[in-house]
Amino acid sequence: MTTENQLNFGSQPIAKILEEKQLKPHDLVEASTEQITHKMVTRACKGRKLSPKVKLKIQNAINNATEKQYKLNDLFNY
C-alpha cells in the first residue's frame, strides 16, 4: 500500500450529512467555537486522514450547526 492510499479514505459519511442538511464547509466554520478552517472541513469530506484532534473539532462544529449529537463513527469510516 502506498503512502497516498494510506492517507486517503474516499468520501466520508460527513459529506452525505452535509449534503442532506444543505450545509457548506463555511457553515461549519461559522458554527464552530474552536478554530477550524474551510480546508479542514473539505479534507474531512474527501476522506483525507485527519488527526484525532481535528476530527473532534469537526464533530463539535457539525453538532453545533445541526443541533444534533453525531458520534465520530457517524462522521468518519476510518
User: Alpha-carbon distance 58 to 4, whole Å?
Assistant: 22
Parts of the chain with a pLDDT under 70: 1-5
State the residue for C-alpha cell 453545533.
Answer: 64
Residue 7 has what pLDDT?
Answer: 83
Task: Identify the bridge partners of residue 48 per DSSP, sorted by sequence position.
Answer: 8
User: φ, ψ for residue 8 (rounded to 5)?
Assistant: -115, 125
Residue 51 has what pLDDT?
Answer: 96
Residue 5 has what pLDDT?
Answer: 66
Read off the amino acid at residue 27. Answer: D
Contact 63, 70 (CB under 8 A): yes
The whole-model pTM stands at 0.89
Contact 42, 69 (CB under 8 A): no
Residue 48, classed as helix, strand or coil, is strand
Residue 1 has what pLDDT?
Answer: 54
